[in-house]
Structure 1
Amino acid sequence: MCGIVGAVSTRNIVPILVQGLQRLEYRGYDSCGVAVWDQGLKRARSTDRVAKLLRQIEDDRLTGTTGIAHTRWATHGAPAVHNAHPHFSHGPGEAAADRPGRIALVHNGIIENHDELRASLQARGYRFASQTDTEVIAHLVDSLYDGDLFEAVQAAVKQLHGAYAIAVFCKDEPHRVVGARAGSPLILGVGLEGGENFLASDAMALAGVTDQIVYLEEGDVVDVQLGRHWISDRNGRSVERPVRTVQAHSGAAELGPYRHYMQKEIFEQPRAVADTLEGIAGIVPELFGDGAHRVFREIDSVLILACGTSYYSGCTAKYWLEGIAKIPTQVEIASEYRYRESVPNPNTLVVTISQSGETADTLAALRHAQGLGMDKTLTICNVATSAMVRECRLAYITRAGVEIGVASTKAFTTQLAGLFLLTLVLAQAKGRLSDAEEAAHLKAMRHLPAALAAVLALEPQVISWAEDFAGKEHALFLGRGLHYPIALEGALKLKEITYIHAEAYAAGELKHGPLALVTSEMPVVTVAPNDALLEKLKSNMQEVRARGGVLYVLADADTRIESGDGLHVIRMPEHYGPLSPLLHVVPLQLLAYHTACARGTDVDKPRNLAKSVTVE
């Protein structure tokens, strides 16, 4: 979601701040801004893209050696310049509320008690120029400031309820930036030259500037100055956090020959899956970390917690875990699980799935499960240094690389690869995987990159479908069994980036309501592999045709489904058994992508959405 960059240096840090914002654009945002110290507080803010902000900065000749920058995804207050970060304090007796006070602040997260704090501060004479919860923090820090910014921030965060990562500086201490985090990620970047130091919400923001990263823990407050920094924990005690070398390659943000990042990431899937499965010579528990063998031997069920696309990967894994490993599996939307009464089982393996490893709802659900006594935890995650990995006992790190397009593609297929591997490991631990079955599954997994490349070659046929879809406003997706979650994912992709209303159903549910929607203007996409449910699915397709519906079918070569009037068929290169969801989802990704291109929508940054959802 929102992105933070901050710096203390002896050189002009505005180019570094802007470059950091550009590298955080993939998270999604609707406004952006920069504030610096230059004989006082100065800032530039925009509701346009970072490139437009840069032109404004150049026109205003904004420079400074200390500063903070931000990309905002609106929660409190509309996307408008007066709500954009950074925010300035406006204390009692100061000039008009549109002029800077002494505090500049940026914030990721949501402050739940902002109304009470706002009322208290207004009663003391503080004036508000925005509708944001963030401006409350700036005023609060100002009200507590008595010559030491670090102490003021320490005192302020004790009054905040909710999730936050903040970076703040004061015009009276121009070579100092203070940060704090609780429930939202924040890192410290230790500079490589000149004593400069940095803050950011993501190591990607500092790629090419420093690779020396300190991951702040929950409740930490960090004081960043020239040539030094120190950290206090949630109890106010001074602590040391390890400095890690993190290679956040900025090259991942280069488009190369592709039109959009989403297209690039769709075509990176063969390599991403190959990297995720690299070096796996056999099915052994240690693939998931030390102590995995004992944990897997003790568990008797699996609980999967995830959101969005990751939730659909978990729904797919349920079919594998119950069908192959014979382990009862429950899949929960993370944001729902933590707020309902559930029956904890200490012998459950709690599996979280997250691309970023910082998804707020999933982290909260994990902590809720742990609080219920379920301490056997594992994450499937794309970021080895994330909070999710740090807080789980076991982990499998996918190697999708940086995913910039908001609509997830390669993260999804690598999650499926990791979850299938988990299925095989659990099946083996329970004595339900023969040597012959293990060898067959490993062979199929090694062939996945080549199989994915063959599916990508279907792009021209998918483009012809997209031309039909571009003029539609509604679509249905159908699947059965293992491929029902893939239909759900296909519908999600279409609605995310084309703004076409799309729904997915288990095909057997057609007669229980959705059939009432079917007309010639409602395209129906059907995932039709040659599996045990094919004949049932063919009957469902006939129900659609009988009502004048137009079918778009992804079929295996030997399904005997032929193109005709109102029936469009794309044949998959091969049937892939249990792993076929990884192949069938790719044409659905391409369909969404090319339909969005035809409709002229913002493919990589769809309206109202963000990449890394770090607030509830």
Structure 2
Amino acid sequence: MSSIIGIVSTRNAVPDLLHQLQRMEQASHNCCGLVVHGRQGQTQSPPRLHRHRRAQRVSAWIEHMARSSPNGLHGLHAQVGMGHTGQTDAFGPNALQHALPHMSHGPDATLNSPARIAVVLLGQVQVSPALREAMRERGYHATSPSASEILAHLIDATYQNDPVQAVRRALALLSGAMALGVMFHDQPQRLIAAQSGAPLWLGCNGHSTFVTSDQAVLRDHAGPVVPLTDGDVVDVHHAHCQITNNLGQPVSRPELKQERTDFSAIETR
């Protein structure tokens, strides 16, 4: 079974992300990837979305990255990141195109266009031929038949400086059971996660907040573990989280109120 994870931290999240990918990866998985928002090494270039993917020998790839980069992936420092590990039916040179995360570089993008949206996805998303055609007409060119790439383009097309609303608008145009994480190039301190028919859990420790489809990765972390329900969208910042339901209203589940004292990072709006 595939798994996704997102981390927002007050320190470098890259080592934690690699460690959690190791824990989630299984022998049957043949693809894996991660995306972080940060800066590579000592370069003075602005922070951006950095993606790394693998479509074969996943275990060895993750182990090598974690062992050779104890303080970050090849000098990459980032406080926000997401990862995915799972299976793809694609083989050969095109297999990597199916591996998550998927990105949108915007309409009529060139090879030099920076990534604007990154998506990790768990579940089966139904994208109609009419929606695919509409995205092509707007200048979004898919590099794979993956529905998650169309989702990234759709979020970019609906984005108007409000990440939560962009995710909600995009999901309203799709069907299927899913859980997803989304990162935005121009929102470097935030990670948006949404649940609709697939499991997603929220947890935190003293320096990081985690959103994951695999509850087991949260067992070693202090603080409560909060299951999200259908329609919940979580807006994770460095300092806090904001959870709203499918109507955009504040979450008022009793278990959240009971955990409020210990899990002070959760807020509602």
Q: Please give the alpha-carbon distance, in whole angstroms, between the structure 2 residues aligned to 1:151 and 1:11.
A: 28
Please name the residue that 2:44 is paired with: none
Please name the residue that 1:113 is paired with: 127
Please name the residue that 1:173 is paired with: 187
Tell me the SS of whatever aligns to 1:155: helix
Deviations 1:189-232 (A, max 9, x none): 1x2213x3111001212332344211000111111111211212
Please name the residue that 1:90 is paired with: 105
Q: Please give the alpha-carbon distance, in whole angstroms, between the structure 2 residues aligned to 1:136 and 1:235.
A: 24
Is it true that 1:123 corresponds to 2:137 in the alignment? yes
Greater C-alpha Rg: 1
Please name the residue that 1:5 is paired with: 5
Q: Please give the alpha-carbon distance, in whole angstroms, between the structure 2 residues aligned to 1:118 and 1:193.
A: 43
Tell me the SS of whatever aligns to 2:129: helix
Q: Please give the alpha-carbon distance, in whole angstroms, between the structure 1 residues aligned to 2:19 and 2:252.
A: 29
Distance 1:192 1:175, change over 3 A: same
Say whether the 8 Å CA contact 2:8–2:236 is kept in structure 1: yes
Aligned equivalent of 1:221, options 223, 230, 233 = 233
Please name the residue that 1:192 is paired with: 205
Matches within 5 A, 1:128-207: 128-189=142-203, 191-194=204-207, 196-207=208-219
Aligned equivalent of 1:53, options 36, 45, 62 = 62
User: Identity over aligned residues, as a percent?
Assistant: 36
Please name the residue that 1:81 is paired with: 96
Say whether the 8 Å CA contact 2:218–2:225 is kept in structure 1: no
Is it true that 1:40 corresponds to 2:48 in the alignment? yes
Is it true that 1:65 corresponds to 2:79 in the alignment? yes
Say whether the 8 Å CA contact 1:35–1:67 is kept in structure 2: yes
Q: Please give the alpha-carbon distance, in whole angstroms, between the structure 2 residues aligned to 1:86 and 1:99.
A: 17
Say whether the 8 Å CA contact 1:18–1:50 is kept in structure 2: no
Matches within 5 A, 1:228-243: 228-241=240-253, 242-243=255-256
Q: Please give the alpha-carbon distance, in whole angstroms, between the structure 1 residues aligned to 2:84 and 2:25.
A: 10
Tell me the SS of whatever aligns to 2:130: helix
Q: Please give the alpha-carbon distance, in whole angstroms, between the structure 2 residues aligned to 1:54 and 1:90.
A: 30
Q: Please give the alpha-carbon distance, in whole angstroms, between the structure 1 residues aligned to 2:209 and 2:184.
A: 16
Q: Please give the alpha-carbon distance, in whole angstroms, between the structure 1 residues aligned to 2:84 and 2:61.
A: 14
Q: Please give the alpha-carbon distance, in whole angstroms, between the structure 2 residues aligned to 1:55 and 1:26.
A: 16
1:177 Cα offset (Å) = 0.5
Tell me the SS of whatever aligns to 2:77: coil
Q: Please give the alpha-carbon distance, in whole angstroms, between the structure 2 residues aligned to 1:89 and 1:36.
A: 14
Aligned residue pair count: 241
Q: Please tell me the root mean square deviation across aligned C-alpha atoms, in Å.
A: 2.3
TM-score for the superposition, normalised by structure 2? 0.82
Say whether the 8 Å CA contact 1:46–1:81 is kept in structure 2: yes
Say whether the 8 Å CA contact 1:166–1:181 is kept in structure 2: yes
Distance 1:46 1:210, change over 3 A: farther
1:17 Cα offset (Å) = 1.3
Please name the residue that 1:336 is paired with: none
Structure 1 residue runs without a partner (length 5+):
246-616
Q: Please give the alpha-carbon distance, in whole angstroms, between the structure 2 residues aligned to 1:70 and 1:125.
A: 27
Q: Please give the alpha-carbon distance, in whole angstroms, between the structure 2 residues aligned to 1:210 and 1:201.
A: 18
Q: Please give the alpha-carbon distance, in whole angstroms, between the structure 1 residues aligned to 2:223 and 2:210.
A: 11
1:62 Cα offset (Å) = 3.0
Q: Please give the alpha-carbon distance, in whole angstroms, between the structure 2 residues aligned to 1:170 and 1:43.
A: 13
Tell me the SS of whatever aligns to 2:123: strand
Please name the residue that 2:30 is paired with: 30
Distance 1:114 1:19, change over 3 A: farther
Structure 2 residue runs without a partner (length 5+):
39-46, 260-269
Q: Please give the alpha-carbon distance, in whole angstroms, between the structure 2 residues aligned to 1:221 and 1:165.
A: 10
Distance 1:173 1:92, change over 3 A: same
Q: Please give the alpha-carbon distance, in whole angstroms, between the structure 1 residues aligned to 2:108 and 2:19.
A: 37
Matches within 5 A, 1:186-335: 186-189=200-203, 191-194=204-207, 196-241=208-253, 242-243=255-256
Q: Please give the alpha-carbon distance, in whole angstroms, between the structure 1 residues aligned to 2:79 and 2:180.
A: 19
Say whether the 8 Å CA contact 1:37–1:66 is kept in structure 2: yes
Say whether the 8 Å CA contact 2:22–2:63 is kept in structure 1: no
**Bigger fraction of residues in helix:** 1
Deviations 1:359-394 (A, max 9, x none): xxxxxxxxxxxxxxxxxxxxxxxxxxxxxxxxxxxx
Say whether the 8 Å CA contact 2:35–2:50 is kept in structure 1: yes
Distance 1:185 1:142, change over 3 A: same
1:114 Cα offset (Å) = 4.7
Distance 1:211 1:28, change over 3 A: farther
TM-score for the superposition, normalised by structure 1? 0.37
1:124 Cα offset (Å) = 0.4
Higher relative contact order (CA 8 A, sep 6+): 2
Tell me the SS of whatever aligns to 1:52: helix
Q: Please give the alpha-carbon distance, in whole angstroms, between the structure 2 residues aligned to 1:155 and 1:82.
A: 25
Q: Please give the alpha-carbon distance, in whole angstroms, between the structure 2 residues aligned to 1:86 and 1:13.
A: 17
The AA in structure 2 aligned to 1:193 is G
The AA in structure 2 aligned to 1:162 is G
Tell me the SS of whatever aligns to 1:63: strand
**Bigger fraction of residues in strand:** 2
Q: Please give the alpha-carbon distance, in whole angstroms, between the structure 1 residues aligned to 2:62 and 2:76.
A: 11
